Amino acid sequence: MLHELTSREAGLLYLLFPHLSGLALDRVEDLDGSVKIVARTGSEPVGCRDCGTLSARVHGRYRRCLQDLARAGRSVQVELEVRRLICDNAACPVATFAEQVKGLTARHQRRTAGLRSPLAGRARAGRPRRVPAGAGAGRGRLPVHTDPPGQSDA
């Protein structure tokens, strides 16, 4: 079952998922035994991962699938649309970089920061035993539109 969120409902979700409070929450899907929250980042500038120069110039967007801490015995996935941004610093070797969400994502990680914490071990009981078909393809990336293949520094 898919549920589009109103802004009031998204506000309630932030109470349960405070680590998602900097994101726009679009919808929640009630899957068999698990819950998927579909979210996206905003338009704020983000520092380049190499030189730190702020950029909000979007090269493309793509989706990441993140496993989050289980709630009420149900596993929680966050399908997060993030931006690939252009670094405008001519001296920087990084042409484009994937934005990271503080307290949530990290490069090459498919689990949220909360699930990666050492205290999260007991909360992992709700993780699904098998990955749904297609969910694991391409290291958790689902192309949205313009991100060219072959760039892998998520």
Write out the binding residues for Zn ion, residues 73-102 only, by CB under 5 A.
87, 89, 92, 94
The answer for 72, left when phi > 0, alpha when psi is -120 to 50, beta otherwise, is left
CA 86 – CA 95 distance, rounded (Å): 6
Residues 117, 122, 127, CA angle at the centre, nearest 5°? 90
CB of 52 or CB of 136, closer to Zn ion? 52
Q: What is the DSSP letter of 111?
A: B
- Which of residues 51, 54, 142, 144 is near Zn ion by CB under 5 A? 51
Rounded least distance, CB 102 to Zn ion, Å: 18
Rounded least distance, CB 124 to Zn ion, Å: 35
**Token pair in block for residue 3:** 């549920």
CB of 53 or CB of 151, closer to Zn ion? 53
- Exposure on the CB side of residue 12, measured as CA atoms within 13 A: 6
- Which of residues 48, 80, 104, 154 is near Zn ion by CB under 5 A? 48
Residues contributing to the site for Zn ion (CB under 5 A): 48, 50-51, 53, 87, 89, 92, 94
